[in-house]
Amino acid sequence: MGKRQTGVIVPRWLVMLLQIVWGTVWGISGAVAQEGNAGPERSQPKPEVLFAVGEWPPMITENVPGFGIHTERVTEAFVAMGYRVRYIFLPWRRAYELTARGEYAATFSWIWTPERSAEIIYPDHPVARAYQKGFYKKSRFPDGLEIDRIADLDPLGLRPVGVASYWYEVEFRRHGIEADIVTSSEAAWRFLDAGRADIFFEEEQVGWQDMKRILGEEAVANYTTTQPVQSDDMFILFSRNHPMGPALRDAFDRFLDTPNGQSMCRRWGVCKKSGENQSVPN
């Protein structure tokens, strides 16, 4: 006799039904898994751009959300271009040198100089325009000062205070103007406030911000400014020696030429093609 089979006898029609149902469920599960696996392949991580910057409130600063006016503009543009951004805060000279060397892709905000243009890549489009003005005490010059260029200081017998390595050092020497040069903007403001100098030149928005921070809110009522003595477009500088540097410069300029980019730069107040030297001394 053969061995007796034990177990439940399942009707053939039920087996066929279970196979159909199981095949359908397996097919659905497989499709969901493929869809889930396809997601990461379609949405690759966005490339990250590292910018080396320094403190220059309110334009660039670690101490406010968005990291300052200029930083918000750079973030807005590069996020729209499809990048993530990260800002590394360093002393200004080091930020520039490390970018030129290729350790960082870019740095901002800088005016055009022939020396820098030989070391680093300038884009066509600026991110801001700076207006350099002379700050002075109303009580010292109650009739005001008619100044719209550095050369005007000498005939008026004015002695400026300035910060080492700033743009005006060259101008002071060129015009034979004696100046007191200090190591920081804080020292310059205190020097001016103590009456040891007649005038201090600074970018307008930065100057008022620094004055309030260093001398206090009440100091604002004691000071006024000259007309701009110089106006400069300010740029992102891209590294010649970083693998992403040249391509980022090209991508930035292409984006600023698009309708979306033009809309941004109109809001920034610098919506125009820039030539090489955008410094416009008066």
Structure confidence at residue 115 as a pLDDT band (50, 70, 90):
confident
pLDDT of 29 over the 90 cut: no
Fold agreement between 48-129+232-281 and 131-230 = yes
Confidence of residue 278 (pLDDT cuts 50, 70, 90): very low
Average pLDDT over residues 95-124: 94
SS3 of the chain: CCCCCCCCCCCHHHHHHHHHHHHHHHHHHHHHHHHHHHHHHHCCCCCEEEEEECCECCCECCCCHHHCHHHHHHHHHHHHCCCEEEEEECCHHHHHHHHHHCCCCEEEEECCCHHHHHHCECCCCCCEEEEEEEEEECCCCCCCCCCCCHHHHHHHCCCEEEECCCCHHHHHHHCCCCCEEECCHHHHHHHHHCCCCCEEEEEHHHHHHHHHHHHCHHHHHHEEECCCCEEEEEEEEECCCCCCHHHHHHHHHHHHCCHHHHHHHHHHCCCCCCCCCCEEEC
Q: Residues 220-232: pLDDT tens digits?
A: 999 999 999 999 9
Better-predicted residue by pLDDT, 68 or 35: 68
Q: Which CATH number fits domain 131-230: 3.30.1330.10, 3.40.640.10, 3.40.190.10, 3.40.50.150?
A: 3.40.190.10
pLDDT of residue 43: 61
Task: Quote the percentage of the chain above a pLDDT of 70.
Answer: 81
Q: What are the residue boundaries of the structural domains of the chain, listed by start?
A: 48-129+232-281, 131-230
pLDDT tens, residue by residue, 231-277: 999 999 999 999 999 999 999 999 999 999 999 999 999 987 544 44
Give pLDDT tens digits for 153-179: 999 999 999 988 788 988 999 999 999
Superfamily of domain 48-129+232-281: Periplasmic binding protein-like II (3.40.190.10)
Residue 184 pLDDT > 90, yes or no?
no
